[in-house]
Amino acid sequence: MAVNWDFIVEYEQYNLATLPIPLKESLISHLTFYGPDEGVDIHGLKTLFLSAEELPNATGCRDVTQLNLSSLVGWGFSLSQLAKHCTITRDTGLRARLASNNEDVEISGRDTGLEPSDTDASFLSGKFQAISTAYTNNVAESWEDELEEVESPLQSIRSTFRLPNLTHLYLASPGPSASWADLLSISTHLSTLTHLSLAHWPIPTLTPNSSTTSVVSKHSPAVHAGGRHFYSVTDEDWHEAATILRRLSKNTYCLKWLDVEGISWYKALGGTALRSVPWERELFDEWDALGSSLGYKGPDFDGSWSQVTYVNLSQGWVPEWVQSVRRIPMDMRYDDIQKDLKSYLRKLHPDQASMPEIPVDPSNRPGPNGPTVEWFQKEFAARDVAETIRSSRAALGGLRCTFDHGWTQVPRNSMSIPNSRYHTASPSRSLLVEDHRHLRT
């Protein structure tokens, strides 16, 4: 079905909506790998999620608990389109309020010409006339009474979410149109989430197209138009990213499992306590205690995310050769990582353990921007994040959290993400690889 998705959506759309819920969940997971190369559009998901009110015998999506949209979001559809479809706005109390305002006003039949069997659209077209008639006949005795009557029609307008029982959401490897603003918007409906995957997501920002734009005025210095500027990563300016993650954590306060594999914004997870070296961290904490504007707060692992017990911090790949690890530039910060990695590689590849260590010529070391050096930099940041959260949890007596770096032989949590093993830091849909034997149905 996933291979022939376009045909199924076109010619079997009425039968597609009647599939059992477990089969719908499995079908969406298979679309991640077997679906069209150009991605799946929102029309197919709308058809799959039709409710019994919209189509007889349809199973809807209220009982859906797992939604695997890895490598789908941002390619064929956006999160804003998904949120728009899944959010239903209704004014269920309008008829009752109009009847209580004026018993002489009858919406059905005499005044508006509408029958009870008319569509909701026809009913809404005549509601304004009924409201006007009700307020014309009922003259308020004071301004306060009239204000109360005017506000009442808005009090029962409510929005409901089509996926009220969703607990597992996987958004790994998004397309170029993936938006953090859309994620924050839909996260207000995701308070039931316990598992979330944001693997390979870009740096959190609400203005991705304004990183090189400045607002210039002859009366003041130039100001960055967006929340981050072109050199934010170089300057370690994670204010906006940390703020966005903190807002996300407040909306997903039931989260227990987080996957951020292959990201480049590890430091935004650590907040104000995260700096490159110990003495710099101590100095930064002192400034932060004095109310310095340099401080920023990341996701609250001691508050909203206090139940998180597993975080995947792996980079998606590991240097494979001991000699390449030994050739990285000398840096005392990476000594422990270098020793652990060489030991890990020798156990993983016994043939390398028997190879003699060749002295490294200092003039033949790789540059500071090589992939192996970049891997060590990110690994150091990931370890620093893990240590920061562990220390904070221990000080407050919180739950112990397991941080999976992908190579340190940390046992995988039993609640592992289905369909997720990525082999590059920025994979395309065609590079997404999975062991299909472990596909959850």
Beta bridge partners of 217: 220
- pLDDT the model gives residue 156: 54
Neighbours of 73 (CB within 10 A): 27
Of all residues in the chain, the percent with pLDDT exceeding 90 is 36
Amino acid at 302: D
The residues, ordered by sequence, that sit 6+ positions from 119 with a Cβ below 8 Å of its Cβ are none
**Nearest in space to 404 (alpha carbons), one of 314, 328, 280:** 314
The residues, ordered by sequence, that sit 6+ positions from 57 with a Cβ below 8 Å of its Cβ are 18
pLDDT at position 104 over 70:
no
Residues found in the chain:
441
N-terminal to C-terminal alpha carbon distance within the chain: 14
Calculate the average pLDDT of the chain: 73
- pLDDT the model gives residue 348: 79
Residues 247, 257: Cα–Cα separation, whole Å: 17
Each residue's pLDDT tens digit, 323-381: 667 666 667 777 888 888 888 888 877 776 555 554 444 444 555 557 888 888 899 99
For the CA atoms of 410, 413, 417, 422, the dihedral, rounded to the nearest 10 degrees, stands at: 10
376 in Cβ contact with 328 (< 8 Å): yes
407 in Cβ contact with 244 (< 8 Å): no
**Is 143 exposed, middle or buried, given 0-12, 13-18 or 19+ CB atoms closer than 10 A?**
exposed
**Is 80 exposed, middle or buried, given 0-12, 13-18 or 19+ CB atoms closer than 10 A?**
middle
- pLDDT the model gives residue 283: 46
Q: Pick the residue with more confidence: 327 or 233?
A: 327
178 in Cβ contact with 79 (< 8 Å): yes
Residues 427, 375: Cα–Cα separation, whole Å: 16
**Nearest in space to 405 (alpha carbons), one of 288, 333, 290, 312:** 312
**Nearest in space to 330 (alpha carbons), one of 358, 362, 356:** 362
Each residue's pLDDT tens digit, 248-267: 999 999 999 999 999 989 98
Residue 198 backbone phi and psi in degrees, to 5: -120, 35
- pLDDT the model gives residue 330: 63
Domain boundaries, the chain: 93-155, 194-410
Residue 279 backbone phi and psi in degrees, to 5: -65, -35
Residues 381, 337: Cα–Cα separation, whole Å: 11
Residues 271, 283: Cα–Cα separation, whole Å: 15
Q: Which two tokens stand for residue 387?
A: 């240590």
Q: Would the CA dihedral through 363, 365, 370, 375 be positive or negative?
A: negative
Mean pLDDT, to the nearest integer, of 408-425?
A: 40
DSSP annotation of 379 reads: H
Mean pLDDT, to the nearest integer, of 154-158?
A: 56
Q: Which two tokens stand for residue 119?
A: 């569509």
Neighbours of 59 (CB within 10 A): 20
Name the pLDDT band for 413 (thresholds 50, 70, 90). Answer: very low
- pLDDT the model gives residue 377: 87
Mean pLDDT, to the nearest integer, of 282-306?
A: 63
Name the pLDDT band for 58 (thresholds 50, 70, 90). Answer: very high
Residue 315 backbone phi and psi in degrees, to 5: -90, -5
- Taking the model in full, what pTM does it have? 0.72
Residues 409, 407: Cα–Cα separation, whole Å: 5
Residues 378, 393: Cα–Cα separation, whole Å: 23
- Cα 421–chain centre separation: 18
CA atoms within 13 A on the CB side of 162: 20
The residues, ordered by sequence, that sit 6+ positions from 404 with a Cβ below 8 Å of its Cβ are 310, 311, 312, 313, 314, 410, 412, 413
**Nearest in space to 163 (alpha carbons), one of 56, 259, 85:** 85
Q: Which of 12-16, 228-232, 245-249, 348-352 has the lowest mean pLDDT?
A: 228-232
Residues 335, 281: Cα–Cα separation, whole Å: 19
